[in-house]
Amino acid sequence: MRSDLKAMINNKFLILSVLLFSVTSIPAQQEPQTITFNKYVHDFGQIELTSGKHSCSFTFTNKSEKPVIIHTVISSCGCTAPEWTKSPVMPGKTGKINVTFLNDQGPYPFDKVLTVYISGEPRPILLRVKGVVTRKPRPLKELYPERYSSLGFRRRIEDFGTISQNGITRGSIDFANISSQPVSVTFTNISPGLRIKTIQDKIPSNTKGEILFEIDTRSNDKWGVTRYTATPAVNGISTGKELVIQTIIREDFSKMSKEEIEASPLPMADKSSHNFGTIKAGTTVNAWFDIKNFGRRQLLIRKVDVNDSAVKVEYPSSIDAGKNGRISVSVNTTQQNGSKLYTLTVITNSPSRPAINFVISGDIKK
């Protein structure tokens, strides 16, 4: 490998290591309780940059006695795009996570992590795709297609994964100056709790730059899916377009004692899914899920995230120990059509069940 390429890789590795943002290996993980995968690592081997995208699949089997659903799959890098089975997987049946490696970042060895959040699992499941890319990289304009004036980004929304409430998390985003002149980049209209800046004061023409950001959740009572935004300005002139950093904020249980965990709330639902069959568009779907707190302390429901704006939810903010609570759901199907799968994610203060997933499904006919 040439010395200049070695230096570039070493510098990049140093920056990301300091930020604790680079994932080069997966720590040991316990065997999942509800599903089993045919593999946890896929090795593409050596591939050429000019060969385009490469895909693989991870197949899992539901070994539990209840339906399971994959809530989300988060990639450690935008170059790795996952798709997965969205419908509930019945006991004994199989589902898939299809992964596409975009192969668009130049010649380098890669080892990417996929974090899988699935119902019934207390911890996410980690999968890996790896390999080595050879030959020349593509032009920056192709690598960074999302335009912010003379800047190029890989995408408008950067998914930063799960972070803890009441803490500080740091990360980075790369971008490119695709203009013919050097530029300085600043930010305006920055969300509370977000700090953001570029590493370089000036980014030369047709050169990559790097943005450092810091999310501080200590002063903001935010939970679940949360978006932080900032508007880039080039040479002091606003691009007029927001850059979005999306996170999932969960309770931090790392400092709880064994006694506190044993005495913590324990929510259990009477069901995890509701099928409304086949209905006409415009019919309101009503459903509910009853939750009992089997723990010894009060259960707090921080937030309920939904995957569609047509879904409205009412829920109690707390459920005392030994008591029941009801999550009531209504779906406005006026603008809906076809097979539908609505998901709800209930964010709680329970260490064993920090997120509870519910599914509402059926067919809507116009």
Is the CB of residue 62 less than 8 Å from the CB of residue 150?
A: no
277-298 per-position pLDDT tens digit: 999 999 999 999 999 999 999 9
Could you name the CATH architecture of 1-136?
Sandwich (2.60)
The span from the first CA to the last CA of the chain, in angstroms, equals 61
Strands 80-84 and 94-101: antiparallel
Q: Is the pLDDT of residue 12 over 70?
A: no
Percent of the chain clearing pLDDT 70 (strictly above): 91
Identify the pLDDT of residue 171. Answer: 87
195-251 per-position pLDDT tens digit: 999 999 999 999 989 999 999 998 788 999 999 999 999 999 999 999 999 999 999
CA distances from 258 to 10, 253, 261, 270 (A): 41, 11, 5, 28
Q: Rounded to 5, what percent of the chain is helix, strand, coil?
A: 10, 55, 40
Is the CB of residue 149 less than 8 Å from the CB of residue 237?
A: yes
> pTM higher than 0.75, yes or no?
no
- Could you tell me where in the chain the CATH 2.60.40.10 domains are found? 1-136, 139-250, 258-365
Question: Which of 118, 67, 62 is CA-nearest to residue 94?
Answer: 62
Least confident of 15-19, 91-95, 235-239, 355-359: 15-19
The CATH code that applies to domain 139-250 is 2.60.40.10
- Give the amino acid at 143: L
Quote the CA–CA distance of 58 and 42 in Å, as a whole number: 8
114-160 per-position pLDDT tens digit: 999 998 888 889 898 988 887 765 688 888 899 999 999 989 998 88
Percent of the chain clearing pLDDT 90 (strictly above): 62
Could you name the CATH architecture of 258-365?
Sandwich (2.60)
